[in-house]
Amino acid sequence: MGCVSFTRAHFGDGCITAKAVKRAELAALVELEPVQNAYRNMGWERALGASGTIRAIREVVQAEGWCKEGISLKALKALREALLTAGHIDQLQLKGLSAERAPVFPGGVMVLLATFKALGIGQMQVSDGALREGLIHDLLGRVSHEDVRSRAVGNLAKRYHVDTPHAERVAETAGRLLAQVAGAWNLDPEEGLQWLGWAAQLHEIGLDIAHSGYHKHGAYIAEFADLAGFSRQEQLVLACLIRNHRRKISSSSFKRISAYRVHATRHWMVLLRLAVLLHRSRDLEAPPEPQLKPGEDKLKLSFPKDWLQRHQLTRTDLELEADYLQAAGFSLKFA
């Protein structure tokens, strides 16, 4: 059952009618009928989807705000109603749907909806790689008790000759800062530690291309590199953190992230920027950990007495940083 064949068979004239939608769904259910009981009785913990159509559907339901992670049955039903409202393939105006995918989209949606119903799937995770690649990486991860994404980040850092000791110092400082603000900023400490670690490990990969604007080069690499285990949205989050770890903050990079990810990503960015700033001298001696007083979209740093007076370069860096953050709607004060 393919999106092309089903679209041609049931939406060949481009019209998306209730009758055509029902006919396509029944045709898919008929194809699934011989195997549905066997699959249902087998049982499973998770449903994993991998194909161009499934990835396209994921992009649409998340961009439209019908689903936060993967694809849900509820989101698919909302998508079916949106197709009926459009009435014709040429009238499809769905967020996240590319012009290349639109002509075969209705058939793919109905095949997936029928699959959810036949197999009793309520939620599906989506793999950005081929299914066989996803299975191999998943098995490797289970055997080694390792998150495949961490291995992918490490390989990328090695490929771009990252200064690993420096990256580890930045990650460690970012993690300590996170511990002070996680509760007040409603951040998951474990998740934040993981993302800050990855971003710190890769924040300088752009230096292998050019020093000028290296944060932009690094973001491009992180977004388009083949990073096993990362979803498309996760690579956008990683790219956003790298892009915004220094200099002017790009508001457009946050617009490409799913709305529910923006809060955490924005606050991780602030912590990463501060950690990078505190290690800017690349001194092996760890800087003093400032005491943080967080508030909503604001943060106050308190350093040991007279420390900033003895480290005027850091004070100047913090003054510039306060300006960058203020332009992005975030208040930073220090003493």
> Can you name the CATH fold of 3-126?
Nucleotidyltransferase; domain 5 (3.30.420)
Task: State the pLDDT confidence band at 265, using cuts at 50, 70 and 90.
Answer: very high
pLDDT at 34: 84
**Structure tokens belonging to residue 251:** 């508001």
Give tens-digit pLDDT for 277-302.
999 988 887 788 899 999 999 999 99
The dihedral over CA atoms of 51, 56, 57, 63, expressed in degrees to the nearest 10, equals: 150
pLDDT at 131: 55
Enter the pTM of the model.
Answer: 0.63
In this prediction, residues 209-228 reach a mean pLDDT of: 92
Give tens-digit pLDDT for 8-64.
999 999 999 999 999 999 999 999 988 888 888 877 778 888 888 999 999 999 999
Q: Where are the domains of the chain?
A: 3-126, 135-289
The crossing angle, in degrees rounded to 10, of helices 189-202 and 164-181 is 150
User: Nearest CA to 197 among 153, 257, 145, 254?
Assistant: 153
Contact (CB, 8 A) for 223 and 156: no
pLDDT at 332: 97
> Which CATH architecture fits 135-289?
Orthogonal Bundle (1.10)
Give tens-digit pLDDT for 103-154.
999 999 999 999 999 999 999 998 776 555 555 555 555 555 567 889 899 9
Give tens-digit pLDDT for 157-216.
999 999 999 999 999 999 999 999 999 999 999 999 999 999 999 999 999 999 989 999
